[in-house]
Structure 1
């Protein structure tokens, strides 16, 4: 499989190594200022860039009929536009706020817990996410996905980074050197606290999942997520 890497920072380089180990070929390595020359040679593109570049990268792939996997976060206000473009071009697009197998299992656990806790309004939901200091967006895409699943299965209406109202989920976003990613969902009452936590030990899991997603996406048409890849 021939892969175009859109974004060649730390994650892009780890993805490259894992892809090569799995027998794939890297035909394009795009940094932010580079052109899209060589994209047409790829069977699939993997976008781990920056928020300002994501929409342009995904659009170039869909307009050029190249399946694209994106793990860039911080641009989701444009997500529905990309879905519309994918449908218009009859392309293939897979977005994931987190490609780790463990995190996607954690998503399912969070959703199940939210359904349980919705019956007990005396518990107030909150979240904490910790990432490395190079991460540009806050809260993380993973935290937003977790909050979205709680909102869809409870009476919460939104999330907030500070001064959360009664119907909002407070997300405490912290940036600490050399932390790949930790997410905690908590429910507090006057008498006790329930929490679930996922802690990433390295970025390897994110990169491996992105390559697996790219392998799965080739030959398909439509808009997908890691739930489709993992059959969750």
Structure 2
């Protein structure tokens, strides 16, 4: 499979290593700051699928350029989700393919499933208060992380006593607190804690490196190249 990388920072380079180890060819490395390559240089047009890890500021524009060429897109960029309805519309009405995940780690996506199930159980246990903590490297531009937002929204959907999340502080009992910390070169830590007067229960995921995210992104690219529409990890992992 021929893959175009959009964004060639630490994550892009790790994806390249994983993709090549699985027998894929990298035909474009689009990153004006790192490589000088752009969408019109020729290599991108030959790609079977694009993998995009950039910044919230440029992500949506990158998706539109991919759609212009009719290329399936796999993206792990967070912080742009106000444009998500437009992406879904392009998939539904114009036949585009877009695979989005706030986190491509297989372990994190298992955490998502556990989190939804635990929230359903705790919906009937009002004696437990819930909050979340996420820790990432200091270069991460958005807070809370896209993964934390996904976890929080799933708790809110399954727990009647919570109706919104708040960053670092809460004002009402109906709000879910997300603590967001930025430290060193931490790839990603997410912890959901339920606490009562008598005990504490947590579910926790800590990434050891970027390798798990990169592998998940390449697996998603393999999946997106063979499927159509708006896709996600639930589709690929068949939860």
State the TM-score, normalized to the length of structure 1.
0.97
In structure 1, runs of 5+ residues without a counterpart are none
The within-5 A match list for 1:166-185 is 166-185=173-192
Q: Which residue of 2 aligns with 1:20?
A: 20
Supply the distance in 2 between the matched residues of 1:217 and 1:23 (Cα, whole angstroms): 17
Supply the distance in 1 between the matched residues of 2:129 and 2:67 (Cα, whole angstroms): 42
Residue 225 of structure 2 is aligned to residue 222 of structure 1: no
What is the Cα deviation at residue 86 of structure 1? 2.1
3-state secondary structure, aligned to 1:194 = strand
Q: Is the 8 A contact 2:134 2:181 kept in 1?
A: yes
Q: Is the 8 A contact 2:169 2:178 kept in 1?
A: no
Query: How many aligned residue pairs are there?
Result: 232
Residue 120 of structure 2 is aligned to residue 115 of structure 1: yes
Q: Is the 8 A contact 1:126 1:169 kept in 2?
A: yes
Residue 93 of structure 2 is aligned to residue 88 of structure 1: yes
- Encode CA deviations 1:96-119: one digit per residue, 9 max, x unaligned: 001111111111000110000000
What is the Cα deviation at residue 190 of structure 1? 2.2
Q: 2:39 aligns with which of 17, 36, 39?
A: 36
Q: Which residue of 2 aligns with 1:67?
A: 72
What is the Cα deviation at residue 123 of structure 1? 1.2
Supply the distance in 1 between the matched residues of 2:112 and 2:72 (Cα, whole angstroms): 25
What is the Cα deviation at residue 204 of structure 1? 0.1
Q: Is the 8 A contact 1:51 1:72 kept in 2?
A: yes
Q: Is the 8 A contact 1:59 1:85 kept in 2?
A: no
Q: Is the 8 A contact 1:65 1:89 kept in 2?
A: no
What is the Cα deviation at residue 189 of structure 1? 1.7
Supply the distance in 2 between the matched residues of 1:134 and 1:23 (Cα, whole angstroms): 31
The within-5 A match list for 1:131-150 is 131-150=136-155
3-state secondary structure, aligned to 2:198 = coil
What is the Cα deviation at residue 39 of structure 1? 2.3
- Cα gap change, 1:49/1:68 in structure 2, threshold over 3 Å: closer, same or farther? same
Q: Which residue of 1 aligns with 2:213?
A: 206
- Cα gap change, 1:184/1:32 in structure 2, threshold over 3 Å: closer, same or farther? farther
What is the Cα deviation at residue 143 of structure 1? 0.4
In structure 2, runs of 5+ residues without a counterpart are none
State the TM-score, normalized to the length of structure 2.
0.94
- Encode CA deviations 1:172-222: one digit per residue, 9 max, x unaligned: 000010211000001122222111100100000000000001001113211
